[in-house]
Structure 1
Amino acid sequence: MIYKLIFKLGQHLRNPSMEECSLFLKKSESWSLEALEDYQLKKLKEILRFAYAYSPFYRNYFEVQNFSISQIKKIDDIRKVPIVTKRLLLDNTLEIQATYKFKKLFKASTSGSTGEGLEFSRNEEADSFNRAAIFRGYSWYRVYPWDRNAYLWGFNFSLLEKGKTKCLDFLQNRFRIFSYEEKSFAHFVQKLRSAKYFHGYSSMLFQTAKLINERGLVLPKSLKMIKGTSEKIFDSYQEEVKKAFGLKIISEYGATESGIIAFECPEGNMHLNMEGVIVEEVDNEIIVTNLQMKSFPVIRYALGDYIQLAPRDEVCSCGRKHRILKEVIGRIGQNVYGIEGVYPSLYFYYIFKNIAKNSDLLLNYQVVQVRKGELEFRIEQSINEEEIRILRKEIEKYFEKNIRYKVLVGVNLIATKHKFKSFLSNMDS
């Protein structure tokens, strides 16, 4: 197959280490939890020694924090390593970058949820390992990276960018939607009939499914995987997506600076990429250590999400022993400003989780704050007065009388730079 040959050639030229990484990851996939943790301990010591030797920031940081690598005897000793905050990472990017002369480096960048850009160099071995970890997840669904695929990742490009994107998409056997206009959308849906997997922003996957269902378009159930990333996957998305495609959206979780963290298996559990990262839950926050990236060491990094890990002894029925990430709850650090006082935006997660659990009311929502003490709850579905009453009761339980708010139903949710966020606020800017 031509696309497999193109992929293999591209892999050989760009990521020569990936074949070896893939073979290792398929082997380690069947390891026991103890074997995985032994490997993590070995790689942790290795990355700590490397960071101390070649990263000016870590050498100084470890010394100032009175941390010595000799303190690491078992995997739990990682807690003795000082935490690196996002602020430290952003302010010390150049000093974190290793001085070691790598054979091959790639530029990596992210705008980040706060809008503050991060740019660093990723060594080829780490890049290859990260890609191999993602493709291992694909293999759980009998999907290959060179299979025909649809991609939803924004479409507002200039003519030149659009041409470049189409060329790259062709080489990767990939196509995407550039407009939801009826004729263009129908052409996209026609192409979907030949696709093996469909991936991108979860809100765009949902909107595509919704339009397919509204327009009565029928698709053969040929897709093997629908993968959402970079955004929250609402429970309410799944019904629409299953109706359109016969599959649910599965989740991939990671970040540019940390690499792939977890991938959902066919049994519905998100397995940690234990060979690539160590994940800790500290006061409900994720602390992540990348075990493979030496060019820009990311060690005990407070990524900025609230998470929930499953107990260590919880095992998935798929047979994989990699620990399970129960849930990515939401972003840390976004404040809601009441008439008096400040509240965490995490409240919104609990408000809508509670009404889903107690009243079986699954809602696509977005909360907007433009002024202090005022909120706008935007609900995509059209809900009745009793359901609005249930929502109001839950809102007032968390904010009491310290917030003036209105509930808008049957409205479109707002995307910024093509990406959906469940809470929008300009109060901290």
Structure 2
Amino acid sequence: MNLFDFSLQLNGYPLDKAKKELAHIQQKKDLDFKMFLKDKRHAIVDFHVSHNNYYKSLAPHANSKHWDSIPVMTKKDLQCPLEERLSKGFTTKNTYVNKTSGSSGDPFVFAKDKYSHAMTWAVIQNRFSWYDMDFNTSRQARFYGIPLDKKGYYKERLKDRLSKRYRFSVFDLSDAAFEGHLNKFKVTSFDYINGYTSSIAQFAKFLERKSINLSSICPTLKACVVTSEMLFDTDKKLMEKQFGIPIINEYGASELDLIAFQNTSNDWQLNSETLYVEILDANDNCLPYGEEGRIVITSLYNRAHPFIRYDIGDVGILSKTSTLRKPILKTLIGRTNDIAILPSGKKAAGLTFYYITKRIIEDDGNVKEFIIEQLEKPLFKVSYVSEEQLSEDKKNTIAQEMERYLEKGLTVTFERQHKLKRSKGGKLKQFTSHVNSTS
């Protein structure tokens, strides 16, 4: 039985229908595809103008036939209660609801209608199939975080079991933890690795120190898919050397879809079936292929919640070889996370803070932006912008979560600010460590 597909279908996500539609899209000739893309863009704008009061107030002059009339949305536009942003007929009960990671520093809760979410999974499964990886049959070595509360922990473990995944925690990147990982690879026929770039790179460095090639002890491995953080050429070469398998670069956003996936020709191919991707300048003008600008994305299927000309907060360049059907992401700027080095010498991935800062990501939109800095090994500072000061109880909860996920003896300070410093590209880096490995 295809347990992964079955579990999605059981929860109301029509995956079979989505797979058929995706196959139909991919079979279109170039001219037909151009018309499909135009029609879907018009249809999603017209739907939200007619059925979503929030979007109508955000874009009162939007005209689907005049694309320049449609304003660019930012994450700040979405920091109000989710119920205010849903289209007519949709509720938190009949949609897929989740939170963004806050890696850009602008957290919010979002929703997708169930067919849109099924299309997301259809695209993901299609891309993985390029490398003979199947979510129903292939065994995954998963380098991700996991909630530490009892309910969240067992929920993720159940999902892992249904999805043929074994999860390696990114909260501990010590050599002792990696020894345990290595032993698991020796006795398990994993088909592929998937997870956070920095954590997997740290595992590759461990293997290099031990002079071990992973494919020699786990010959079933076919590929490694890295996501959520920048993949640098040096790390990619190291992983290829120590794993002995292709390293595949994935770029996605939970509120949207899989955005880009490295194809078998080594191109970072954008998802043109469920998304429309633009590169814009500072004045919201569309830039030609080959020029650097803001990545702005329209979700073509999500009727529950508008993501129309949505500025994701990243900067990139589309290759000059791009076409409407097959756009290629030449360069992505941003999405890099530091490694935290703790007083004990233990290391933890920067995205560990995704699980910790969920405590300050609230649907009421109080916290608008936040960043975390490691000033010294035991000292962390949380800077945030909010409508109201964080309560002492909230601060204590965050400090306790840091100790629970990392280690005891840490000091956490808080500073409410009117505005947080941004990078040249306009992004906030969620976590920065000012501690080097020799200090």
Which TM-score applies when normalising by structure 2? 0.69
Match for residue 119 of structure 2? 129
| The structure with more helix, counted as a fraction of residues | 1
Which residue in 2 is equivalent to 1:301?
Answer: 310
- Cα 1:275–1:227 shift into 2, 3 Å: same
For 1:81, the equivalent position in structure 2 comes to: 70
Most deviating of 78-87 and 161-170: 161-170
The answer (yes or no) to whether the contact 1:15–1:127 under 8 Å persists in 2 is no
Residue 296 of structure 1 and its aligned partner are, at CA, apart by 0.5
Deviation at 1:168, TM superposition (A): 2.7
Instruction: Output the CA distance in 1 between the equivalents of 2:346 and 2:316.
Output: 28
Tell me what 1:59 maps to.
56
1:98 aligns with 2:93: no
Contact 1:130 / 1:260 at 8 angstroms: preserved in 2? yes
- For residue 238 of structure 2, give the secondary structure of its aligned residue in structure 1: helix
Q: Separation in 1 of the partners of 2:302 and 2:79?
A: 17
Q: In structure 1, what is the equivalent of residue 263 of structure 2?
A: 265
3-state secondary structure, aligned to 1:67: coil
Counterpart-to-counterpart distance in 2, 1:273 and 1:6: 26
Unaligned runs of 5+ in 2: 282-292, 355-370, 374-382, 384-418, 422-439
Segments of structure 1 that go 5 or more residues without pairing to the other structure are 332-348, 350-364, 369-377, 379-410
**SS of equivalent residue, structure 1 residue 144:** coil
Contact 1:155 1:177 in 2 (8 A): no
**How many angstroms apart in 1 are the aligned matches of 2:338 and 2:6?**
44
Aligned to 1:428: 420
Change (3 A) 1:124 1:329: same
Q: What does the per-residue CA deviation read over 1:306-330, in whole Å, with 9 as the maximum and x for residues that have no partner?
A: 011112x547xxxx94211112112
- Structure 2 vs 1, CA of residues 246 and 106 (structure 1 numbering), >3 Å: closer, same or farther? same
AA aligned to 1:86 is K
Which residue, out of 198, 211, 215, partners 2:206?
211
Percent of paired sites with the same residue: 25
Contact 1:306 1:328 in 2 (8 A): yes
Q: Distance in 2 between matches of 1:160 and 1:24?
A: 35
Question: Secondary structure at the residue paired with 1:108?
Answer: strand
State the TM-score, normalized to the length of structure 1: 0.70
**Structure 1 residues 62, 92: CA separation in 2 closer, same or farther (over 3 Å shift)?**
farther
Amino acid corresponding to residue 136 of structure 1 in structure 2: N
Distance (Å, rounded) in 2 between the aligned partners of 1:206 and 1:46: 42
Distance 2:102 2:122 in 1: 24
Aligned equivalents of 1:16, 1:304: Cα separation in 2: 29
TM alignment of 1:26-425, pairs within 5 A: 26-63=23-60, 66-69=61-64, 72=65, 77-91=66-80, 93-101=82-90, 104-146=94-136, 147-154=138-145, 157=148, 161-178=152-169, 180=174, 181=176, 183-191=179-187, 193-217=188-212, 218-283=216-281, 284-311=293-320, 313-314=321-322, 321-330=325-334, 415-418=349-352
Larger Rg: 1
Contact 1:51 1:58 in 2 (8 A): yes
Q: CA separation in 1, counterparts of 2:305 and 2:69?
A: 21
Shift of the 33–188 alpha-carbon distance from structure 1 to 2, 3 Å rule, reads farther
Q: Look up the equivalent residue of 1:303 and give its one-letter code.
A: I
Aligned partners of 1:235 and 1:133: how far apart in 2? 26
Q: CA deviation at 1:195?
A: 1.1
* 4+ long deviations beyond 6 Å: 411-414
User: 1 CA distance for matches of 2:339 and 2:351?
Assistant: 17
SS at match of 1:302: strand
Aligned counterparts of 1:44 and 1:314: Cα–Cα separation in 2: 19
SS in 2 for 1:20: helix
The structural deviation recorded for 1:413 is 8.0
Shift in Å at residue 92 of structure 1? 6.9
Which SS does the other structure have where 1:177 is aligned? strand
Q: Give the Cα–Cα distance (whole angstroms) in 2 for the partners of residues 223 and 321 of structure 1.
A: 31
**C-alpha distance in 1 between matches for 2:160 and 2:79:** 32
Residues of 2 paired with 1:298 and 1:163: CA distance?
32
RMSD in angstroms over aligned alpha carbons? 3.1
- Are the equivalent residues in 1 in contact too, given 2:146–2:156 (CA < 8 A)? no
Question: What is the count of residue pairs matched by the alignment?
Answer: 337
| Kept after mapping to 1: 8 A contact 2:252/2:258 | yes
Whole-Å separation in 1 of the counterparts to 2:99 and 2:258: 15
1:293 counterpart SS class: coil
RCO greater where, 1 or 2, for CA within 8 Å and sep 6 or more?
Answer: 2
Tell me how far 1:270 sits from its aligned partner: 1.6
CA distance in structure 1 between the partners assigned to 2:242 and 2:267 by the alignment? 23
